[in-house]
């Protein structure tokens, strides 16, 4: 598990999405998110822009809710166009790609105490909680950061019907965004529900 966590930390550091001042590289090629990234080599090319021509993301947009066992979890999903991912090593940008993504805002209340709420915040382009929806998959997959203790993990979201989604935040492969020492005394690191929940549409 430690090795898995370490690999994820290195991946996130290497594939950083941070924004550098006055860095606005050009689009060098385009692909459709409806295509197959495993078969189309353009998806992996430097400077490629994966565009949501077929509105793959629309099915997820809205406010979704989980309200059980003293936990109120509101998840707001929005579309964001042309987000950049920069591949960075030791401060040097080695490459970049663009894509049309969905981003996740949320509000979490446990036993009547609000732990986090950024539903109405303006979200910068380097926001880490985001996912892509490829046409070959029946889900959108990406990264979600649980902000209470600043822990991230792989996640997926799948539309079950127009009013229900399945949100799956993996608890087995995670990465720390604070120094390891911060987590040494914690008896748990996630506060957002993990390992699969159904959420209903609010609007």
**pLDDT value at residue 82:** 96
pLDDT above 50 (res 13) = no
In the predicted structure, residue 35 carries a pLDDT above the cut 70: yes
Q: Give pLDDT tens digits for 91-109.
A: 888 999 999 999 999 999 9
Q: Are 42 and 27 in contact (CB under 8 A)?
A: no
Predicted confidence band at 49 (pLDDT cuts at 50, 70, 90)?
A: very high
Query: What percentage of the chain reaches a pLDDT higher than 90?
Result: 77
- The pLDDT mean for the chain works out to 89
| pLDDT of 203 strictly over 80 | yes
Count how many domains the chain has: 1
Question: Would you say residue 1 has pLDDT above 60?
Answer: no
DSSP symbols for the chain: -HHHHHHHHHHHHHT--PPPTT--PPP-EEEETTS-TTT-GGGGSTTEEEE-TT-TTGGG-EEEEEEETTEEEEEEEEEEEEEEEEEEETTEEEEEEEEEEEEEEEEEEETTEEEEE-TTSPPPTT-S-EEE--TTSSSEEEEEEETTTTEEEEEEEEEEETTEEEEEEEEEEEEESS-GGGGTT-S-S--S--S-EEEEE--
Cα(104)–Cα(6) distance, integer angstroms = 24
Residue ranges making up the domain that contains 191: 2-201
State residue 134's pLDDT score: 95
Higher pLDDT, 9 or 184: 184
**Cβ–Cβ < 8 Å for 86, 93:** yes
Res 177: pLDDT = 95
Q: pLDDT tens for residues 148-193? A: 999 999 999 999 999 999 999 999 989 999 999 999 999 999 999 9
Confidence class of residue 142 from pLDDT cuts 50, 70 and 90? very high
- Mean pLDDT (whole number) for 76-90: 93
* pLDDT value at residue 136: 93
Give the span between the Cα atoms of 117 and 147, in whole angstroms: 9
Instruction: Tell me what pLDDT residue 23 has.
Output: 64
Average confidence (pLDDT) over 36-54: 93
Q: Which residues, including other chains, have CB under 8 Å from residue 129's CB and lie 6 or more apart? A: 103, 104, 105, 142, 143, 144, 145, 152
């Amino acid at each position: 598990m430690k090795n898995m966590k370490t690999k994820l930390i290195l991946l996130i550091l290497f594939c950083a999405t941070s924004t550098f001042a006055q860095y606005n590289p050009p689009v060098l090629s385009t692909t459709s998110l409806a295509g197959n990234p495993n078969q189309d080599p353009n998806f992996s090319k430097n400077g490629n822009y994966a565009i949501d021509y077929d509105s793959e993301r629309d099915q997820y947009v809205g406010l979704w809710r989980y309200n059980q066992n003293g936990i109120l979890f509101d998840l707001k999903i929005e579309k964001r166009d042309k987000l950049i991912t920069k591949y960075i090593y030791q401060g040097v940008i080695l490459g970049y790609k663009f894509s049309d993504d969905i981003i996740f805002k949320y509000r979490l209340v446990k036993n009547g105490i609000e732990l986090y709420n950024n539903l109405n915040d303006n979200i910068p382009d380097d926001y880490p909680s985001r996912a892509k929806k490829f046409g070959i998959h029946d889900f959108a997959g990406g990264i979600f950061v649980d902000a209470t203790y600043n822990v991230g993990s792989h996640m997926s979201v799948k539309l079950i019907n127009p009013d229900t989604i399945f949100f799956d935040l993996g608890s087995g492969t995670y990465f720390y965004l604070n120094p390891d020492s911060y987590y040494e005394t914690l008896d748990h690191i996630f506060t957002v529900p993990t390992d699969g929940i159904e959420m209903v549409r609010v609007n």
